[in-house]
Amino acid sequence: MSDKRVVITGLGVFSPIGNTTSEAWKNAVDGNSGVGRLSNIDPEPFTSQVAGEVKDFDPVALLGPKNARRNDRYTQLAMAAAEQAWEASGLSGETIDPERVGVIIGSGVGGMETFETQHTTALDRGPRRISSMFVPMMISNMAAGQVAIDLNAKGPNFATVTACASSSHAIACSVDSIRLGRAEVMVTGGSEAPLTLMSIGGFCSMKALCTTYNEEPEKASRPFDKDRAGFVIAEGSCILVIEELEHAIARGASIIAEIAGVGMSCDAHHITAPAPGGEGCARAMRMAMKDAGMKPEDVDYVNAHGTSTHLNDINETSAIRAALGDQADKVMVSSTKSVHGHMLGATGGMEVMLTALALKNGIVPPTATHESPGEGCDLDYVPGTARKADIQCALSNSLGFGGHNVCIALRKYKGDN
C-alpha cells in the first residue's frame, strides 16, 4: 500500500440513464432502464435491435460549433462529461498548478463513427476527399488530449485501450500516478460511441448481443438471469476527478468516496472467453483487496462486470466465490448494466461512479431485470429493487476481450477513516 490516499471529488456523466450524476444515480437506484430500440441508425439490418443510447446530447450547445465539428462523438461525450466533473469538483485553473493535473481516459474503439464515415467517402469519392481531420478525430487517445486542452491539464496524459476494461484501467493508472507523486489531481474514466454499422454488425456476427428481446428492449440486459442471452451495446461517457487526500482536504473539497486499492491481471487464456472459473478476475480482486488493506470479510458489495452473457456471468460468479470465500454468500452483488447496458470502454467508469455513490448514500443499486438465477449463478444479486445498506467497502470489476481484468476497491469516506 502507498502512503498517499486517493479520493473522488468530482463526477460527470452522459449515459443512457442520464446526463447528470443525480439523474443517472436516481435511475440506477430506481431500476429505470435506459435501453430502447435503436434509433440513431436503422435497426432492421441487425439481429440485435436494442441499445443504450444517450438522449438529448447536443454537442454544439455544450461544446461550441468548432469542437462539435472537429471531434468524433466519443470525444464530444468525454469533453462534456469532463467539464461536468471538473465543475462538480470545485477545482479552478487559477488556483492549481496545471502541471500537477493529468488526464487518462479509456476507450475501446475510439472514433468508430468517423472511421466509417470517412471510409465511405474514400470509396465513393476517392482517397483525396478524406477529411484532413480524419486521423485526429478517429484515434483513441484524442478524448484524453482534448480534455487536457479544455482544462489546461499539463500532467500525465494518455489513453488506455483494453476493450471493456479500458476506463477501469484508466482509473487504476490515474491512482498510480497520484501515488507515485506524478500528479495531485487526475481526470479519468472512459468514453465510447459504438452505435455504428460496423460495431453493432461485428458484435452481432460474434453472437455476443441479445437478440431475444427486440420487442421488449428494457428487459434485454439480464445479468445473472436464467434467460440472459447476450449483452446490450451502449454508448456514453463517465469521468471522475480524483485527487490526493491531503490536497482535497486542504482546499475544502467535498469527498464522495475513497479509491483504496486497484488490482490488474490477465487471463492469458483466450481472445474473448474468460479463463475457466474466472481465475484471472479472482486474482485482480485479491490484488485490489490487498492493495486496499481489506480482508474478504470487509467487503459488503461488489459491482459486477455482469454483462448478461452466459460465460461472463457464470465465471464472474465463480471468481467472486474464489476471491471472497465464505464472504461471497454474505456480500451483495449487482450489475447496473441491467439498466444502462454495456458501454464497452466507458462502462468501468460508470460502474465505479455508481459504486462510489452507493457507498456515500448507503443504497445498493439493483440488478433491475433479474428474475430467476441462471445455472451456476447463486449469489445475492440484489434482484429487482435497490437495497438500503450502510456499506463500508466495495469492489468494482471490469473485464475485457483479450483477458484483461481490473478491480477497483473503494471505501466509504467518513473524514477520519
pLDDT of 1 > 60? The answer is: no
For the chain, the structural domain boundaries read 6-250, 261-411
Q: What are phi and psi of 227, to 5 degrees?
A: -100, 15
Of 132, 110, 411, nearest to 259 by C-alpha is 411
pTM, rounded to two decimals: 0.97
Q: 187: helix, coil or strand?
A: strand
**Residue 3 binned pLDDT confidence (cut-offs 50, 70, 90):** confident
Q: Is the pLDDT of residue 115 over 70?
A: yes
What are the tens digits of pLDDT across the range 26-45? 999 999 999 999 999 999 99
CATH numeric code, 6-250:
3.40.47.10
Q: Residue 409: which of 344, 359, 337, 346 has the closest Cα?
A: 359
pLDDT exceeds cutoff 80 at 238: yes
* Cα 262 versus chain centre, distance: 15
Residue in 170, 175, 185 with CA at minimum distance from that of residue 251: 185
| pLDDT tens track for 122-144 | 999 999 999 999 999 999 999 99
Alpha carbon distances (Å) from 284 to 8, 383, 407? 21, 25, 6
**Predicted pLDDT of residue 2:** 63
Q: What type of residue is 70?
A: R
* φ, ψ (nearest 5 deg) of residue 406: -135, 135
CB count in 10 Å sphere of residue 112:
24
Class of domain 261-411: alpha beta
The model's pLDDT over 60-99, given as tens digits with 9 standing for 90+, comes to 999 999 999 999 999 999 999 999 999 999 998 778 999 9
| For residue 416, pLDDT beyond 80 | no
Percentage with pLDDT > 90 across the chain: 97
- Strand order of the sheet with strand 101-106? 157-160, 101-106, 185-192, 236-244, 6-14, 257-266, 404-411, 393-400, 301-303, 332-334
Q: How many CB atoms lie within 10 A of CB 180?
A: 11
pLDDT in tens, 152-162: 999 999 999 99
The residues assigned a catalytic role are 164, 305, 342
Q: Do domains 6-250 and 261-411 have the same CATH topology?
A: yes
Q: What is the pLDDT of residue 200?
A: 98
pLDDT at residue 199, as a whole number: 97
Residue 178 has which C-alpha cell? 497520484
Residue whose C-alpha is closest to residue 82's, from 32, 147, 127: 147
Give the relative orientation of helices 73-89 and 112-125 as an angle to the nearest 10 degrees: 150
- Across all residues in the chain, what is the average pLDDT? 97
Round to whole Å and give the CA distance between 193 and 345. Answer: 9
Compute the distance between CA of residue 184 and CA of residue 287 in angstroms, rounded to an integer: 24
What per-residue confidence (pLDDT) applies to 95?
Answer: 80
Q: What is the pLDDT of residues 282-325, one digit of tens each?
A: 999 999 999 999 999 999 999 999 999 999 999 999 999 999 99
